[in-house]
Structure 1
């Protein structure tokens, strides 16, 4: 996650010269402008990109892997490999590890985040990938389930449309790429505000990130995230929260959260992950 480049308006792409982590809310445009996917492709090296695709979250990994392969082939990536891992033992394959060591971009597809973590978490392959992401050597993108796994604490499932309560969200351990955050996806599209608030009530030392469909929170190495796509990114910041009854109520009783900060970020808006402050779009 490197120095943020400027973005002037919706009609111009940001300067795409640095690695980043792209956390995508799902259902990203795969047909028309493909802004988010083009951004990943460019950040991964454009014509020199060597892209690894993990379709492991999907129940149809061959179909989804081939779909993204064809997209990045059409864009002109130099090398594309689908790492179709269906058993944990495959993550120890030396050919897979060799490609992760030499690739410039990794794409995690959608599906079931529990399946993805069950197959890949704590494997040598993912540890190698995480080290290269944190050292700024590769660009990583995850969509839908691939976005949910980015934090240390992961939303594994739950309901929607209710007031915040403990039973509304099921938590598990993610891949810890951006450990400070808890990510929820398809956010406003599936009415998941209360679900993310319930997760933050249980883990008030984290930052909630809710990402709409066809929307991306792009994290740079300097700690700034920038929004792109058609929807919004919701930030739930419990840093100044003065009270919650989370530990005192039953699983189905409403959870109180006092003095919670909520930010809704649109296209081009930027937010500093560590300073917890907003920057307007650059002129």
Structure 2
């Protein structure tokens, strides 16, 4: 399928700045770093009309939507976005509201906040609103952006439960269907901070065709229509590739017993690194093995490293 939209998936805790502080404007240098390199700025830049794009923030996953939603609206507006709206959809019946459906048809960007991804999919899944989002993503220059729960729900397969400490015990990780914007991946969030790598290991060993994506906080991936993923934000993205798994005991052990996996491949991405979902090639932006490294033409003898400096 020739997808025209873009996907921005974020690991959670995206740095929006401390908008609750009265002195925010005066202390902007201390409160924010996302204005130059940040994820929200990149969403605006990648959108169809940039600062004039219609952005709808949806807080369905959150149990505190009235606190979370306005923070994102204010963050986008601080970045000069001129057309930002907020949709607090808390019940499934609201997804048939003509006004809400019309607003989504007019949107260039939808931003799903964090919370509970099962709450998000159970309210939106299979509704007219869900259908509109899928249609726009497939056929228009449309961005689906999601942080935390909003990111986890973006794929066809979705982790909704599983202890980090016991993630490699058979049956501990629970998987269901997501919103299906992207196929053949499974996404986990707050990944580094909450030690969730075992959850992805179990998800991938059960179906090695699926690429596991672990997103650190204030970190994301921009996924374009050609299958290219670029790491954005300040942290790490972990990729778990099971295509070359040689052996496992998954089907031989009882529920609750440890899982063994032989030859699982793991990649680590940071800002500007890319990964091609079609060729499975990763390119490190600032590789020390690049064919043409930038080396100073001449270095003063007194600035060259001496033997004792290298010990």
TM-score by length of 2: 0.82
| Number of residue-to-residue matches in the alignment | 269
Which residue is equivalent to 1:210? Answer: 214
Which residue is equivalent to 2:70? Answer: 66
Aligned runs of 1:14-163 on 2, under 5 Å? 20-31=6-17, 32-34=32-34, 35-44=38-47, 45-162=49-166
Deviates more, 1:270-279 or 1:68-77: 68-77
Q: 1:231 to 1:120 in 2, by over 3 A?
A: same
Which residue is equivalent to 2:186? Answer: 182
- C-alpha contact (below 8 Å) 2:269/2:284 kept by paired residues: no
264, 268, 273: which one aligns with 2:268: 264
Which residue is equivalent to 1:6? Answer: none
Deviations 1:30-54 (A, max 9, x none): 1102210111122223221101111
Structure 2 unaligned spans of 5+? 18-31, 287-291, 293-311
Structure 1 unaligned spans of 5+? 4-17
Deviations 1:220-250 (A, max 9, x none): 1110100111211111111111222212212
Distance in structure 2 (CA, Å) of the matches to 1:209 and 1:274: 15
User: CA RMSD of the aligned region, Å?
Assistant: 2.0
Secondary structure in structure 2 of the residue aligned to 1:67:
helix
Q: 1:274 to 1:143 in 2, by over 3 A?
A: same
Q: 1:91 to 1:245 in 2, by over 3 A?
A: same
Secondary structure in structure 2 of the residue aligned to 1:142:
strand
Deviation at 1:20, TM superposition (A): 2.2
Distance in structure 2 (CA, Å) of the matches to 1:259 and 1:134: 35
Secondary structure in structure 2 of the residue aligned to 1:222:
coil
- C-alpha contact (below 8 Å) 2:151/2:189 kept by paired residues: yes
Secondary structure in structure 2 of the residue aligned to 1:127:
helix
Deviation at 1:19, TM superposition (A): 5.5
Which residue is equivalent to 1:199? Answer: 203
Runs of 4+ displaced beyond 3 Å: none
Which residue is equivalent to 2:255? Answer: 251
- C-alpha contact (below 8 Å) 1:20/1:136 kept by paired residues: no
Distance in structure 2 (CA, Å) of the matches to 1:235 and 1:217: 11
Q: 1:145 to 1:163 in 2, by over 3 A?
A: closer
Distance in structure 2 (CA, Å) of the matches to 1:191 and 1:219: 24
